[in-house]
Copies of this chain bind each other. A is one copy, B any other.
Amino acid sequence: MVTIKMVAKQSGYSVATVSKALNGASDVSAETAALIRAVASDMGYTPNSAARALKTTRSYNFGVLFEDATNSGLTHEFFSYILQSFKRRSEELGYDISFISNRLGGRSVSYTEHARYRNYDGVLIASVEFRDPAVLELASSGIPVVAVDYSFHRCGSILSDNIQGMRDLVSHVYSLGHRRIAFIHGELTAVTRDRITGFQRQCLELGIDIPKEYIVEGRYHSPDVSGELTRQLMALPNPPTCILYPDDISYIGGFNALERMGLSVPADVSAVGYDGVNLSQVITPRLTTLRQDTEAMGERSAEELARAVEEGISYVPQTIVIPGTLLPGETVKRIG
C-alpha cells in the first residue's frame, strides 16, 4: 500500500503539503499541487478512509437500517426501489452506504452501538419493526436520522402523500360508478391511519356511505391474508363492487382468491392496489394502483440526511411529503 508518506518522499515535499495538495487546500501553489498529484497518481496512491475518519471524525458513510419482522427487507420491492435511489443520490453527494445490523464481530449489540462503532455520519431507517425499542433508541440517539415511510417525532421523515393518494383512488373508482367500495388496510401504523383518513374523508365528500364491515384490517404484503379477507368481503350479504388493497402484492392474493371463487377481475369485481411496483404494470389485467414516487422518496431521504449531517446539531426534524400518481389500469370496470 502506498501512503501519503511515500508520496511525500518521492515528490520531495512534506507530508503536510502532500495532504493539502491532494485535498485542494489554498495554501499550496498551483504548480506544486499539480506535481504532487501527478506523483501520487503515478505511484498509485489511494487514501485510507480509516485514517481519515479517525482524524476527522467524519466517515462519509451512511448507515441503513433495513430489515423487518419477516426478514424480507431487501426483497421488498417497494423498499428496494427507495433504497436504490437513496444509494444513487447518496453516492452523488459523496457518501457510501452500509447496512446497520445488530451484530458486531461475534457479539450482538444495539443498532445505536453499531452505528457509533462504524462512525456513520447519518442513518436511514426504512422497512423495520418501528415499535422495536432498539429502533426508537437509534432514532433519538443524536446521530442524524431520517426515516422513510414512517413518521417519527424524533427525526426527519420522508412520507408519501397517503391521504391524497387514497383520495385519488376513491375519486377514480367513484367516477367509474362504484359506490360500494371496500378497503382492506394494513397494520395500524401512522401511514395506515393516513390512508384510512384519506379514504373516509373522500367518501364523506363524495357523499357515499361506507358500512363498517367494508373497512377491514389486513396485513401489508401478505397475499394470504388479503385472500382470506377478500373471501369474507364477498360473502357479505351486500358485497362490495370494488376492493381497495393495501398494496400491489396483497392484490395478487385477492385476485387469486376471487378466481378460485369463480369471480373474475374486473368483470365481476373491481380492484385496486397501492405502490405501483413494476410488476403491477406487467400483469394481466394491468393493475389500477397508486404509484408512490420511490425515486423521489429515496432522493429526498439522501438529501435531507446530507443536510442534517452538514448542518450539524442545528438541524430541525421535519416531515416531507411526496405526492404519488394514479395509474389507471384495467382492474376497475365502469358500472351503473
A residues near B (Cβ < 8 Å) are: 1, 46-51, 53-54, 59-61, 71-75, 77, 80-81, 83-84, 87-88, 91-92, 94, 96-99, 101, 103, 105-106, 113, 116-119, 223, 249, 252-253, 255-256, 259, 278-279, 282-284
Contacts and interface: CB of A to CB of B under 8 A. Distances in A.
B74 A80 contact: yes
5 contacts: A50-B59, A54-B54, A74-B83, A96-B118, A256-B282
Nearest to A66: B87
A103 B98 contact: no
A334 to B, nearest CB: 21
Given A75-B77, A77-B77, A106-B94, A48 B282 contact: no
Contacts of A94: 103, 105-106
Contacts of A97: 98-99
| Centre residue among A74, A252, A279 by max chain B CB count within 10 A | A74
A117 B73 CA distance: 28
A117 B80 contact: no
Contact of A278 (B60, B75, B84, B101): B75
Given A74-B87, A252-B282, A99 B96 contact: yes
B54 A51 contact: yes
A99 B101 contact: no
Given A50-B59, A94-B105, 20 more contacts: A46-B113, A48-B117, A49-B119, A50-B50, A51-B54, A61-B98, A71-B84, A73-B84, A74-B74, A77-B77, A80-B80, A87-B101, A91-B101, A92-B103, A96-B118, A97-B98, A98-B98, A98-B99, A223-B282, A253-B282
A97 B284 CA distance: 38
Given A84-B75, A118-B96, A259 B284 contact: yes
